[in-house]
Amino acid sequence: MSSELSGTTALVTGGTSGIGRAAATTLAGLGAHVVLSGRDAGRGAQVVEAIRSAGGQADFVATELGDEASARSLAARARELVGHVDVLVNNAGIFPFGPTADTVESDFDEVFSVNVKAPYFLVAELAPEMAKRGHGAIINVSTMVAEYGANGMALYGASKAALVLLTKSWAAEYGPSGVRVNAVSPGPTRTEGTVGMGEALDQLASQAPAGRPGNAAEIAEAIAFLATDRSSFVHGAVLPVDGGRIAV
């Protein structure tokens, strides 16, 4: 097992599924003690078990993210488990698609609560401690549709566009103290969360040079790059991992 992140700790939100599970597994494979969160305790236990049987270190915290209190209490639980957090991956997200006219206020609030408010207060809770220690890495998981207008993805895209700007703002705020804040911007990726899209996922992916959906491990590699010192001079970047979609 690689030891690039040995002696470090990571908190991965939404680590029970898809991209978050792949990120948790990859970071643990690099030696980090990973705390993963999600709502589904059964899936959480499975991910922890898989990481531990591969020789890694992991713990699960069941949390419904959405408001400030949930974010701060997740950070506190992570602290109890691993002492302090060196790497924060803001991955948990929801992506309901549909016409703007069909959106009800509670949908609007839920998307912004999970995709923006929870990461915001996790950073508010954890980044100052990283800054005090003089190092840390925060990786936000955005989406290619935060970069251009997509029919039916206005609400979701807007929430992730907010996360992109926060990435740059936090790079300005915490970078001088040694905390690197970056984002990955995935294209269509096969996960439990996109299973319901069926062929629409392939159709979306066919518009990019790679011509196919990505898999969660490919996104996790980019997250791992931004979590390690391999990206030591990278601050405030949004790394597209989208098969080339936004380039063409």
- Residues in contact with ligand NAP by CB under 6 A are 14, 16-20, 38-40, 43, 63-66, 91-95, 114, 141, 143, 186, 188-189, 191-194
Which of 56, 186 has the CB closer to ligand NAP?
186
Is 174 a catalytic site residue?
A: no
Query: What is the nearest approach in angstroms of ligand NAP to the Cβ of residue 208?
Result: 12
- Rank residues 23 and 130 by Cβ distance to ligand NAP and give the closer one: 23
Q: Which is nearer to ligand NAP, 29 or 38 (CB)?
A: 38
Q: Kindly state the smallest distance separating residue 221's Cβ from ligand NAP, in Å.
A: 14
Task: Report the C-alpha gap between 170 and 168 in whole angstroms.
Answer: 5
Q: Which of 120, 148, 156, 174 is catalytic?
A: 156
- Sorted by sequence, the CB contacts under 8 Å of residue 30 that are 6+ apart come out as 2, 3, 4, 5, 6, 224, 227, 228
CB 157 within 8 A of CB 103: no
Could you tell me the smallest distance in angstroms from the CB atom of residue 213 to ligand NAP?
Answer: 7
Residues 6+ apart with CB under 8 A from 68: 117, 121
Tell the residue number behind the tokens 């996109």, with chain if given: 194
Which positions are annotated as active-site residues?
156
